[in-house]
Chains A and B, each alone.
Chain A
Amino acid sequence: MLAIIDYGVGNLFSLSGALDYLGVSYTVTEQPDEIDRADRIILPGVGAFGDAMEHLADRDLICVLENQVASGKPLLGICLGMQVLFERSFEFGKHAGLGFLKGNVVPLRESIPDRLKVPHIGWNQLKFIRQDDPLLRFTQEGDYVYYVHSYYVRDCADSLTAGSDYGIFIPGVVHKDNLFGTQFHPEKSGAAGLRILRAFCSFPIQEAAIRNMD
């Protein structure tokens, strides 16, 4: 059972629909015990960074996520759900993130040429930084994925796996140990996105996590 964390941000129809399509059983929840019972976790997210962190804190989910990640359970953050995995964001002020991965969330506008529009909305091609990443095992380099964002993660060489060109190289996929993230929306990226979700759902669960479920 996969847990989609419902913390009041964004619509989850496409994500749950995509998992239905892939035949993956899941629960949409904000309950710590349900999250604990799950064998893997998806952290979605749309909106502002500060609000998302507040929503997580209000539901006492920060500590829950810390424990889950420490136990070795696979977690996938999508869009803002990926950004909050990093140390801090400079969206409307400065906000601390979950700090599971090294990096900062900064405005695209300050980094890309003037001629390029913000938000970065649309289909962009994936370029691999690391070959053979498990999240991209069904993905071809050059597949198109759907981005919609105004901020991006900088200084994330530590986890950077793939990304797309938009004036600069935009981190699109990050991965370190049991943590995964996509800046784009795999649930909105057609067949290419479904292949990425399928890869996440088939990523082996670590023994530690299995023991925790007993």
Chain B
Amino acid sequence: MITKRIIPCLDIRDGRVVKGINFSNLQIIDDPVSLAHFYNENGADELVFYDITASFEQRALFSEVLMRTAQEIFIPLTVGGNIRTLEDFDHVLKCGADKVSINTGAICNPAFIESAAKKYGSQCVVLSMDVKRVDGHFHVFQKGGREDTGLDALDWAAYGADHGAGELVVNSIDTDGVKNGFDLELLSKVCNRVRIPVIASGGAGVMEHFAQLFQKIPGVDAGLAASIFHRREVDIQLLKVFLLERGIEMRIDNGTAAST
């Protein structure tokens, strides 16, 4: 059967990874290609590159980074950020993305999900949603989690799945950055509602949180995190061994360099 997946997410601005990664010799590395290599060797099952640049010039730089990464990394690469149109979608695929993550672009134009799925296949379309509790209900937020759309998160997840999204990234704004564990209540509800792969995001602080996630919500397919991996608070290779020892199926790979 398929394994659960561990996915580091890299925010990229001006062709560099935001904040970079602190290595033990105090050197900060922020070159996306180097970091993609690092994660590839460290057992990541997939990578997410998130483009947080705004200007046109910077986007060209992002494209160049993407192309170099896709040529050197032999695990799946999902790309998100500023994907509003089929042209944007097409562009990042041509630069080497395997999957494209859409968020605000889908909220502004829900038909975008279906048109992208028809053109490129569901396996390419990742619907990413930022969710926050409002008066006891889960609402979808947009613009980086600043603005309440009023959309019910579970309805939106179901809409996406019904209209061709191949995967769902569920990021809980309530648990994000708190490092107190994933939002199990939200994830459980989403998993009961859709039958496409669900990627949990927001809240992981320690290895045990991933174990809780996969043990308590068997419907979750992957755990995504950023800073805890970047700051080396959690090492992916060690995390996967930890999970495997707890009966959670994991791919243990010694990296490309070791075995070819």
Contact = CB atoms under 8 A, between A and B. Distances in A.
Chief secondary structure at chain B's binding surface: loop
Interface in A16-34: 16-18, 20-22
B1 interface: yes
A interface SS class: mixed
Contact of A187 (B74, B124, B196, B254): B74
Nearest to B124: A46
Nearest to B2: A122
A150 interface: yes
A185 B84 CA distance: 28
Interface in B192-229: 195-197, 221-222
Contact of A11 (B94, B167, B253, B254): B94
A123 interface: yes
Interface residues of A, number: 40
B3 A124 contact: yes
A37 interface: no
Nearest to A22: B260
A42 B123 CA distance: 22
B2 A17 contact: no
B71 A20 contact: yes
Given A21-B260, A22-B260, A124-B3, A190 B74 contact: yes
B70 interface: yes
B260 A120 contact: no
B255 A166 contact: no
A123 B3 contact: yes
A118 B74 contact: no
Contact of A121 (B40, B95, B197): B197
A11 B74 contact: no
A47 interface: yes
A147 B255 CA distance: 18
A146 B75 contact: yes
A123 to B, nearest CB: 4
A37 to B, nearest CB: 24
Nearest to B219: A117
17 contacts: A13-B71, A14-B73, A17-B70, A17-B72, A20-B71, A21-B74, A21-B256, A117-B195, A121-B123, A121-B221, A122-B3, A123-B5, A123-B45, A150-B121, A189-B74, A190-B74, A190-B75
The 5 residue pairs across chains A and B that have the minimum distance between CB atoms: A17-B71, A13-B70, A122-B2, A13-B96, A144-B251
Interface of A: 11, 13-14, 16-18, 20-22, 46-48, 117-125, 144, 146-150, 165-166, 185, 187-195, 198
Given A146-B75, A190-B255, 18 more contacts: A11-B98, A13-B95, A14-B96, A48-B121, A117-B197, A119-B123, A121-B123, A123-B5, A123-B251, A147-B2, A165-B1, A187-B74, A188-B75, A189-B74, A190-B74, A190-B75, A190-B253, A191-B253
